[in-house]
Amino acid sequence: MAAVSMLGPREAGKFIASLAKDVSIRPDGVMKTARVIADAVKSGQLDMEAFKQNEVLPLGRGLTQGQLANWVFLIDSLNFNFWTPDGQPKYSVTHEGKTRTGYLAMVAAVNRALDEGQPMCDPTHYATLTLQDLTHIFRSDTPSQMPLLEKRFEVLQEISGILKEKFGGSFEGVLTRAENSAVKLVEIVTESFPCFRDVASFEGRPVAFYKRAQILAADLWMLYRGQAPGGFTDMGELTMFADYRVPQSLAYLGALEYSDALLQRLKEQYVFSSGDREEVEIRGCSIEATERIVEAARSLLQAEGGGDVTSIKVDFFLWDYRVKHAAKVDSIPYHRVRCIYY
């Protein structure tokens, strides 16, 4: 019997949405969100320079192009699971006069370590770091330390070893093989680095989400402003990055709707396991909802004088939207998982 082929993120989203039981995509919410997106495009809020990730890029530190590539790979290797239980202080890092939480706090901690003389852009350096070293590097302003620190230690051991074994000890070796293709980069990274193999099973089909591998391509594209070696010509082939925050924004804006049973579990802060049906439905429907939003926003923009949008830009916008409007968006509970994939 032939093996069932893996569905890529876009096809997986469509498949999951067609069979989902606890998550649905609301056409009125899709149109409402598309209107928000189209207006944001016209006002310049979806320009590359507008996204919050720009705040923490390590520019002005004299890093070479190769070191910058290694920095992005390090960041996206560790870009998972920052939530803290309600009522507990958030993981927070103050650096360069600004306090950040969650993912942005992790990035600030890496930049702080760079400024303290740690060569964090060198995989041979972080290969030698101990768990105690990492605890110091990622120290928090609050009693809440970064979650899954031991898993992050294992990830650094894994990626540094594979970079040395297969790619000449630097992420530049991966970029060279990708040949200016975001799709090829995702393929190489997910095939070569187990910690990036973000896949599940749904209704008997293997489905891929590839959140961190796709965001790696997007971050390189943003870092290099669309120029080589991040001058990917096929960015439109990537989907949104199915995490736990963008679905929250989609639900807040009405594009996603949860069953009463699922909403109750979310309100109770139930911690799902990676691969649980409800968790897979939320992630898959988020991808498909974003595809529909992109299509609707493009139609609006075409009718109103032009402009374009991609799934990646919608993802960046919705992630930023949650950060900027946290008090409102957090009225919708997000799904919680402890895993290394997102």
CA 274/CA 279 separation, integer angstroms: 7
Compute the chain's Rg from CA coordinates.
Answer: 19
Chain length of the chain? 342
CA 35/CA 32 separation, integer angstroms: 5
Please state, in angstroms and as integers, the Cα–Cα distance from residue 61 to each residue in 12, 58, 112, 324, following that order. 40, 6, 12, 28
Residues annotated catalytic, as ranges: 243
CA 123/CA 73 separation, integer angstroms: 10
Q: Are 175 and 220 in contact (CB under 8 A)?
A: yes
Rounded (10°) angle between helices 65-77 and 102-115: 140
Query: Which spans in 127-268 are helix H?
Result: 131-137, 149-166, 172-178, 182-192, 211-223, 246-252, 260-267
Tell me the residue type at 266: L
CA 272/CA 81 separation, integer angstroms: 13
Q: Are 102 and 203 in contact (CB under 8 A)?
A: no
Q: Are 48 and 282 in contact (CB under 8 A)?
A: no
> In terms of DSSP bridges, do strands 271-272 and 336-337 run parallel, antiparallel, or are they unpaired?
parallel
Give the up-direction half-sphere exposure of residue 250: CA atoms within 13 A in the CB hemisphere: 35
Q: Is 88 exposed, middle or buried (0-12, 13-18, 19+ CB in 10 A)?
A: exposed
